[in-house]
Structure 1
Amino acid sequence: MFSFLILISFNTALLQEIYETNAKEYDLIIDFKHTLDYYINECQQDLKKEKMRNYKIYQETNKHLLNVLEKIKILNTFAALLPPNISCSVNDMLILPHPEECQLYYNCSVIYSIIPKQMEQHLMECDYPNLFSLETNRCDNFRKVACKTRREIKDKCKYRLMIQSFWSPEPCLLSFPSCDNKTDGLHEHGVKKPSPYFMICDGERFLREGFCPVDPTWNTRSFPYNGRCLSSFEIPRDKYSYGKLPSCAGKTNGSYQFLELPCDAFYKCQNGHAKATKCPENSQFDQDSGACQIGAICP
């Protein structure tokens, strides 16, 4: 019994020692955490101060830059009022619009040793169909540019660099026809006509030319008409020299045979308007029904 009491007393002392040791370690951990929090807070405060200092430097620099830009703008505005040769002598980095033509501009950094025909010193021209923008001070898409009092040239052959490339307008128009007063889309070629050649217009500007293919339904050459490539049998003969669609003038509503294709096609008149129809394979035009029929007898 005595030995048991000694054992209990020993364990109690041991537990007390362990508790005191752990308490000291816990106090050390708490102290370390407080110290760490303090330094973290100090660092955060220093960062805020540095950020504010840098922001003030940024504000001052930006303000100075804006003042410089405003002075440059005033200088450029003044220089732009002078003739180009004088303006460029004031500032050889100036880029100025041409006062009359919207596709032209002056680049003071460009100096010709031999001035090209149709041009003058420092004068440059936007690539067709671009125009020079007063907003961006560079060549831009013609739909984004407001020419205001400057003349807006729409024909490629009237751009100055194109004029100097051809000895007369006719060869230029053969390759780059005019789309003046044309709607957007496909049109008969302005020069190569009547023919299968067509041109694509956008904003009264010529984009490209093309060649109508053979129509697979009619197995004949197609031609540009009403914004599409159509078989000659679908084009009125009184509207186009290659057209083969007869007129319905004076004819009652109904179906009629083509003289050139009496069996496998017909045209229908409706209130004076004609529309061509090609019969499907293995069928022919039936006069009685006025439609294509398999097994129909063609007279």
Structure 2
Amino acid sequence: MATIVKVVKGKDQEHDDTDSTQCNMSSDNGYNETIDSPGSCLIGPCENGGTCVNYTCVCEDCFAGVKCEIDVNQTCKYDADTFIPHSNTCQLFYNCSQAVSPLPTENRVYSHNPQILRPAYLHECPYPELFSTTTLSCDYLAVGYFCNHGTACKICEYFNPDCMGISDGIYRNVYVEPPGGHYFECQDERSIFDGGNPCPTNMAPYNGKCRNLFEIPTTYWHVGYGVDCSGRPNGNYESERKHRCDIYYIYMNGNSTLQHCGEGTVFDSKSLFCQNPANACRPCGSVDNGC
């Protein structure tokens, strides 16, 4: 791996310190305007066979820059320490220290199939990272960006959910059926986790956060043990799916809140409050009459 020394920018970018060569940063002005629109064809015609699409130059393989003016092969021929961001795809970049960049043999799922070669020097950041022209490395985990073009295949969104517009938190992937459960975590509109339940034992993601299983209603994918109070009047309710004597639920105007009885007390199904076991009905207490 070469020492990261510099990144090549086109002559129209010599005084531009932003990452606008590959992505549009979302505007802070509230109008979702494009800031430093990359590769604007209004600057001039695309070079080296580039095509103008939505005012952006889409470059042929091994060409980069705002107007596709950078010849990757020629640049790498004279400077092996150079990194060049791909003009149109945020996770791709050219590494002049590695001319041949096929998929490594050990990463090939079907080793008997012919190996597909990528264009010379072209590399890809590991998901979900993008190539930063500021750090000259794969990152962007802390910044939200809009890439110029859509994903290669829409079906991937089912298995690798897009966090764009989603609040920080852990969420269930609704396209993967129970009982296993599959989750993804969003941070600053980027996916930072994808897999099984990431919460500690006896907890699961609910409304974006790891919650006690007894706080999660049973109607939520049958994951939790909490009471579903839908259609019930306001009041106190005992634990139902997994019966526990030391907890109960307060239902108020559509919201159910888990509560714990004080030390030495249990929830009484008759009075609907925590009581000394001697004054509470069975099975939590010892009273039989009048229950």
For normalisation by structure 1, the TM-score amounts to 0.52
Q: RMSD of the alignment, in Å?
A: 4.4
Whether 1:95 aligns to 2:94 is no
Deviation at 1:206, TM superposition (A): 2.5
1:138-167 per-residue CA deviation (whole Å, 9 max, x = no partner) reads: 1253157796764587xxxx8xxxxxxxxx
Equivalent residue runs for 1:1-299 within 5 Å = 81-89=69-77, 93-112=81-100, 117=116, 119-135=118-134, 138-142=136-140, 150-151=148-149, 173=159, 177-181=160-164, 182-188=166-172, 191=176, 193-195=178-180, 198-202=183-187, 203-207=189-193, 209=195, 210-215=197-202, 222-260=203-241, 261=243, 263-287=245-269, 289-295=271-277, 296-298=279-281, 299=291
Q: Which has the larger displacement, 180-189 or 249-258?
A: 180-189
> What residue number does 2:39 align with?
none
When residues 84 and 262 of structure 1 are mapped into structure 2, their CA distance, relative to the original with a 3 A threshold, is closer
Instruction: Pick closer, same or farther for the CA change 1:118–1:183 going to 2, 3 Å.
Output: farther
CA contact (8 A) 1:197 1:211 kept: no
Aligned counterparts of 1:227 and 1:133: Cα–Cα separation in 2: 28
Q: Separation in 2 of the partners of 1:112 and 1:106?
A: 11
Q: Is the 8 A contact 1:96 1:107 kept in 2?
A: yes
Change (3 A) 1:189 1:266: same
Q: 1:111 to 1:145 in 2, by over 3 A?
A: farther
Q: Distance in 2 between matches of 1:288 and 1:240?
A: 30
Gaps of 5+ in 1: 1-71, 159-167, 216-221
Is the contact made by 1:183 and 1:204 (CA closer than 8 Å) also made in structure 2? no
Q: Distance in 2 between matches of 1:146 and 1:242?
A: 31
Higher helix share: 1
3-state DSSP class of the match of 1:233? helix
For residues 146 and 273 of structure 1, the distance between their equivalents in structure 2, rounded to whole angstroms, comes to: 33
For 2:126 and 2:217, the matched residues in 1 are separated by 39
Partners of 2:168 and 2:208 within 8 A in 1: no
Does the 8 Å CA contact 1:97/1:134 hold for their aligned counterparts? yes
Q: Distance in 2 between matches of 1:73 and 1:113?
A: 24
Report the TM-score when normalising by structure 2: 0.53
Distance 1:180-1:146 versus aligned 2 partners, 3 A rule? closer
The count of corresponding residues between Structure 1 and Structure 2 is 206
Distance (Å, rounded) in 1 between the aligned partners of 2:148 and 2:263: 59
Question: What's the secondary structure of 1:255's corresponding residue?
Answer: strand
Runs of 5+ unmatched residues, structure 2: 1-8, 15-46, 48-62, 104-114, 282-290
User: Which residue number corresponds to residue 42 of structure 2?
Assistant: none
What secondary structure, in the 3-state scheme, does the structure 2 residue paired with 1:186 have? strand
Corresponding residue number in structure 2 for 1:13: none
Contact between 1:196 and 1:224, CA under 8 Å: does it hold in 2?
A: no
Call closer, same or farther: CA 1:207–1:97 in 2, change over 3 Å: same
